Amino acid sequence: MKQSTYFFLLFLFLAYSKAYTNPPLLFSADRVHLNQDIVKLFYSNGEIQIDGLTGVGSIQIYSIIGNEISRFNSESLENFKKYISLDSGSMYIVRIETETTVKTYKLIAN
């Protein structure tokens, strides 16, 4: 009985400290804010699509363990669409590099 009380108090302490130290980030898996703009990443029917960016940049796609799957250099980021074979249900890391920023996103292939 005493042990369960300690676990309960520990749970309350951890829940309270996390609730007030850093507010949670609220965004869906396919929408991320980049310089006040919304960036959308989609993968469906063998095609990756990225919306919400402008200019020229490089895009790298990595497996979750860090193996490079594909690379697109000096691509126009406006309405970016490319055919690529990704395993359905697997998670990938998409790295987008422009002249001024480097951002990474998680992508789950459908």
Could you report the per-residue pLDDT of 30-50, keeping only the tens digit for each? 444 444 468 889 898 899 999
Any domain includes 98 = yes
Say what the pLDDT of residue 84 is: 92
| Helix-, strand-, coil-residue percentages of the chain, each rounded to 5 | 20, 45, 35
Dihedral sign for Cα atoms in the order 23, 27, 29, 30: negative
Could you give phi then psi for residue 41, rounded to 5 degrees?
Answer: -115, 130
Q: Assess contact for 32 and 105: CB atoms under 8 A.
A: yes
Residue written as token pair 């869906």: 28
- In the sheet with 37-44, reading across from the earlier edge strand, the strands are 31-34, 37-44, 47-51, 80-83
- Residue 71 is part of which domain span? 27-108
Could you give phi then psi for residue 47, rounded to 5 degrees?
Answer: -125, 130
Any domain includes 45 = yes
Say what the pLDDT of residue 69 is: 93
pTM: 0.64
Say what the pLDDT of residue 38 is: 82
Any domain includes 16 = no
Say what the pLDDT of residue 52 is: 87
Say what the pLDDT of residue 32 is: 44
DSSP helix/strand/coil, 58: strand
The CATH number of residue 65's host domain is 2.60.40.3080
Any domain includes 63 = yes
Say what the pLDDT of residue 15 is: 60
Say what the pLDDT of residue 49 is: 92
Say what the pLDDT of residue 16 is: 57
pLDDT beneath 70: ranges in the chain: 1-37
